[in-house]
Structure 1
Amino acid sequence: MAIVTPLKTAAEQALAQQFANVKAELPGGVAVRKLREDAFAGFEAKGLPHRRLESWRYTDLRMLLREANPLAVGSAESQAVRERVAALKLDGLKLVLVDGAFSADLSDLDALPDGVTIQSLADALVSQREDLTRILAGPGVAEGDAGLMLNTALMRDGVMIEIAAGIELAAPVSIISIASGDEERAIFSRSVVLAGKGAKGSIVEISESAGAKAAQINSSIVFETGDESEIQHVRIVTRQAAESVQVLSLLATVGAHAKFDSFALVCKAGTVRQQHFVRYAGEHTEIGLRGVNLLGGQEHSDVTLVMDHEVPHGTSRELFKSIIGGEGTGVFQGKVIVRPHAQKTDGGMRSNTLLLNDGAVMFNKPELEIFADDVVCGHGATVAQIDGDQLFYLMARGLPRPQAEALVLQAFAGEAVEFVADEGLRALVMGEVENWLATREAPADKGTV
């Protein structure tokens, strides 16, 4: 019987060699090393995700990564990096990763809030903590994803944040990930947020580049939140080289009578694949996943999510807004799974897109997998152009067309941004939206109506 051996691309061969070269020096004890080995074996069996895989149909990573960049092995704290970090006006605790490595010098660790513990992931990996490999694995619906397996195998550093039971953070905790941009590098990092029973707070992720060189970034963040907790997550991905390719994974396990909200803004970021794997671990919990994608040029943004209702009385809401111009491409793939015992589930999923010109493209694929009979679930997707009546109304009152369009687009994106509960973070996100609208390539002014 003939044995068929799949051909490996140059990037896949390079990744295999890189893992062989560095696996002995990557942080972690025996259990973590086994986790890495198993993950890379799974990745090798699958290879880089490609368009023949349904969940990666619209983002062919095998085609995008013709070559694998050299691995980033340390923090390149250049003057440009320091200036970029200093330019970010953020309240609260700031934790900085440079090329995926935790930088204590650039982080603000002088005044940790009571009940909050911070350590680098590299330190956590060698701590012999018994539950760490379970935490790192995340929800079961994340199992088998090749992009995530590669991250598990090669993760070198990140941050681990623990919020004790009953603690309410007065200000957000920010994880600032800066690609130095001095050389083309591949960055693999993972961060973990553990929130105890009744904990409340906001976690912010900001991903930017301080240089012109393109990066290959594969990062993930794991949330494990206790009963009665309220955690808000905000991610801003921007200011990356046009050739950059990013795979960003969010893994969340949420306890009972809890709230978890995540919002993501993507603009001026090259090619981005965001994937969310979320599991309900307790009843009477509310989870919301929302975001805004602002695309131009040949930018590509893929939002893929799996919401796993394992228990009854769960509420989920997903809302993603995309504004696409140039030859940009947007993707939304949302799957809500309602298990047989998850009665009284209430789920609503929506993707709304505005295409600014003929070259822009949007792919929508919402799915419901319902195995219970007492549920209320629905989904919807729209793709349209700017409403002519709205433009007419504004232009008839003397506004030039570019300004009228900007107001319409701002209101469109704002419907999702309004779900960011923290006022300061909402203003930060809206400021990025307004900056994109002000600098985008707008159509020529055709005068007033």
Structure 2
Amino acid sequence: MNKLERFFLERYIKAPKRNLLRFSFMFMILGIVLSVSILSAGLNLFQGYETSLKEVLLGSFPHITIQDADSDYLSIDRVKTLISQISKNPAVETITPSISYSVMASNGSRIRGASLNAYDFSGKFPFPYAKYIKDGKSTISTGEIIVGKYLAKELGKKTGDELKVIYPQLDRISALGLYPSERSYRIAGIYSSGFYESDRSQIICTLSDAETLLNINPSFAKLEIRLHSKSINAATTIATELQQALGMDLAVYPWTMFSAGLLRLVAMEKWLIFIIFCFLVLIAGINVISAVTTIILDKKNEIAVLKTLGATNASIKKLFAYQVGLAGICAILAGQGLGALLSLFVENQGWYRLKGDVYFIDSLNAAIYPINQVIVFIVAACLVSVCIHYPLRQIDKLQIIELLRNS
């Protein structure tokens, strides 16, 4: 492009600002901002949900569980031997033996199913769920229990109250039917992990209380292994290594066996929503086509003069593309900023919460990942670019003689 051509291009196309004030141009900018903000906010919220769900799952349950292959109890001596073997693996952070069994919690006529989990609170083994005790104490003694938040709420109990725990022993049947084992315990703490199913069923007690209630000898049902954060995603490989080292008389289960399918489903839904919201940007692109077409029709006389002076179609289209494209990029960035603010607003608002019995967690969280924002920008920029270049083809069809005659 020579200097004279550049001068007239800037004089007749870049200098006049009246096209910026046109309704179609402003509507184009607004459409891009709103569509990109919805796309960005939706991705941020779904990413936050996926991240929160994974954190809650990994925090509420062991990363690897080891138990007898025939579901028998593990003796204390065998547990000590297993711990000495497993602790040699550098990926293992903590090992906690425990007892788990299904029981019922009762308060008068209200009865709820619960999961009884017993741990050693003498200090010999780490208690991995102390951080989830929101009310009361995390170290309990005989006769005390820790109850899930929603379980306590449904039964109308709070810290300091007595709660009856019932174990329906199927092997003890009298003439009147089942003869259950039941005990009353004082609630010493409230457990709140954020995972609804766990908060609605969790009862934590001491080993001695569990042995008395279940009528068993001192032993453990399983080993709960927690891995270092950098090794969590390799739980399946580590579980396979432990299975080979410990033998087939033990069953080794990684967390991925129970939760990986759920997380894959959430990830698939996240990108499905992203694709659907991309159509909003495509709809906004129709406004881009309309705005560029309006600008070309408004400046057809100037374009005719510039063609007469020797300006090529490519140079004219390039300048139009630069001008509208710059406005489009600014609109995309503004939309991403608005989307971030919108997602943070949804996270911090207090009038709507997720239903834990449907969505597993009861809080809305946003996670703004740079890679997601780059994907949003690239997709939106490509769609806007296509919608800009499509109407610019009209410049090739403009006839100089007809334009000059009509003007």
Between structures 1 and 2, the one with greater strand share: 1
The higher-RCO structure (CA 8 Å, 6+ apart) is 2
Larger radius of gyration: 2
The two structures share one fold, judged by TM-score above 0.5: no
| Structure in which a larger fraction of residues adopt helix | 2
